[in-house]
Structure 1
Amino acid sequence: MIAIKNLYKKFGKLTVLENLNLNINKSGIYAVLGPNGSGKTTLIKCMLGMVIPNKGELLFQEKSILNKYQYRKDINYLPQIANFPSNLTVIELIKMVKNLRAKESNEQELIDLFGLNNFLNKKLGNLSGGTKQKVNLVLTFMFDSDLIILDEPTTGLDPIALIHLKKCINQEKEKGKTILITTHIMSFVDEIADEIIFLLDGKIYFKGSVQSLKERTQKQDLNKAIAHLISE
């Protein structure tokens, strides 16, 4: 699915990714973790074609994606900040995104799931942050794609919406999809992730199951396990 070889990215004098190597060959839920400045965002943006690396190879479905764009139709992406045009209504935004992407969509099922029917004709600029995030989730999950990238998906969600988010993620996993998640909520990772990909100083410092990380650090609390990993 994903093969990254010797990926190197530098911004000015700051090296953000340094000869990073990563292979994801099977479907599942992967939590991409690391402290601020570890390279998580840059890695995701390289995968999306939003940042061009200085060196290295990046393959998706066994094909190089550097300086290409067609592969993006097989990726669903949820940005960390739901920054939508404030003058559009929710339904206008959904229709606009549908027109931009020539794929079947199941937006009504997701609108019902996240309780957005009463908000469809409201302008996005008048919505709360949590409601905008629900719209963000509808836009992300309404298309069928092989790879789903979720950047801080739990932001602003109430407990019920969080349950629905977990349901969506697990349903996509059951369909054989690959889901990458960046988050700072370790309880969410502990509950849902199959594997952790931990970045430190622009390199993969750990890749493995949640349980294997706990065994390595001898910490059953994931927050403490991550803290121990950073201090090693």
Structure 2
Amino acid sequence: MIRIQNLHKSFGKNHVLSGVDLDITEGGIFAILGPNGSGKTTLIKSILGMVIPDKGTILVEGVPTKNRSLYRNRIDYLPQIANFPGNLKVCELIRMIKDLRGKVAYDSILIEKFQLAPYLGKKLSTLSGGTRQKLNIVLTFMFDSPLIILDEPTTGLDPISLIQLKQLIHGEKKKGKTILITSHIMSFVEEVSDEIVFLLEGQVYFKGSISSLKSKTQQLDFEHAIASILKDNHAQNIKI
């Protein structure tokens, strides 16, 4: 589904990606994790074509992404922060996104699932953070694309909506879709993910199952396994 080879990206003197090599197979849920500044967002935006790498190649479904844009029609993306004009009504935003994408949309099912019908006539500026996030989820999942990228999808969600999101993600996986997720909520990652991609200092430090990560770090639970990686890296930096 996605092949990344020797990917580099710097912003000034800050080397964010330093030779990332990564293969994401078709079908499954992959969590991209790492501390702040590890390159998660830059990697995702490079896949989306929002950031142009300094070096390296990205292939999506076997097609190089460089100087191409049509492949993005095969991706549904939920950004960490979605900025839309506050004077738009919810129904107007949904209609606008449907018109822009020009694809069959399944918005009515999702509107019911996340109980957004009472908000369709309200302006975006009046929505709470949680309601806005539910709307962003609807906008992301209402198209039937093979690749879904979710950047911190649980932000602001109440427990019922979080359960709905998990069900939605697992349902899309059953359709054979590939789903990339970034999240700081380790319990959520552990519950939904098939594999972990852990970035450290702009490179892939680990890729594999959570059980393999626990074995590698000799930890019994997921959170302690992640903490072990960060502690070891911090200790190495101090020695250097």
User: TM-score by structure 2 length?
Assistant: 0.95
Q: Unmatched 5+ residue regions in structure 1?
A: none
The residue aligned with 1:163 is 163
Partner residue of 1:213? Answer: 213
Query: Residue deviations 1:74-99, cap 9 Å, x none?
Result: 00000001322100010000000000
**Pairing 1:15-26 to 2, within 5 Å after superposition:** 15-26=15-26
Q: Which residue of 1 aligns with 2:190?
A: 190
Q: Which amino acid aligns with 2:20?
A: L
When normalised by structure 1's length, the TM-score is: 0.99
For 1:58 and 1:102, the matched residues in 2 are separated by 25
Report the more deviating stretch, 24-33 or 177-186: 24-33
1:127 paired with 2:127, answer: yes
* Paired position in structure 1 for 2:224: 224
Pairing of 1:73-222 with structure 2 (within 5 A): 73-222=73-222
Moved over 4 A (4+): none
Give ranges in structure 2 of 5+ residues lacking alignment.
Answer: 233-240
Compute the displacement of 1:222 (Å).
Answer: 1.4
What root-mean-square deviation, in Å, do the aligned CA atoms of Structure 1 and Structure 2 show?
0.7
- Report the identity percentage: 62
Cα distance in 2 between the residues matched to 1:83 and 1:70: 23
Give, as a single letter, the amino acid of the residue that structure 2 aligns with 1:174.
Answer: K
Q: Amino acid of the residue matched to residue 225 of structure 1?
A: A
SS of the aligned residue for 1:45 comes to helix
Which letter maps to 1:106?
A: Y
Aligned to 2:67: 67
Count the aligned residue pairs: 232
1:32 aligns with 2:32: yes
Query: In 1, distance between residues paired with 2:104 and 2:26?
Result: 24
- 1:113-132 C-alpha deviation (Å, 9 max, x unpaired): 00000000000000000000
Query: Counterpart of 2:35 in 1: which secondary structure?
Result: coil
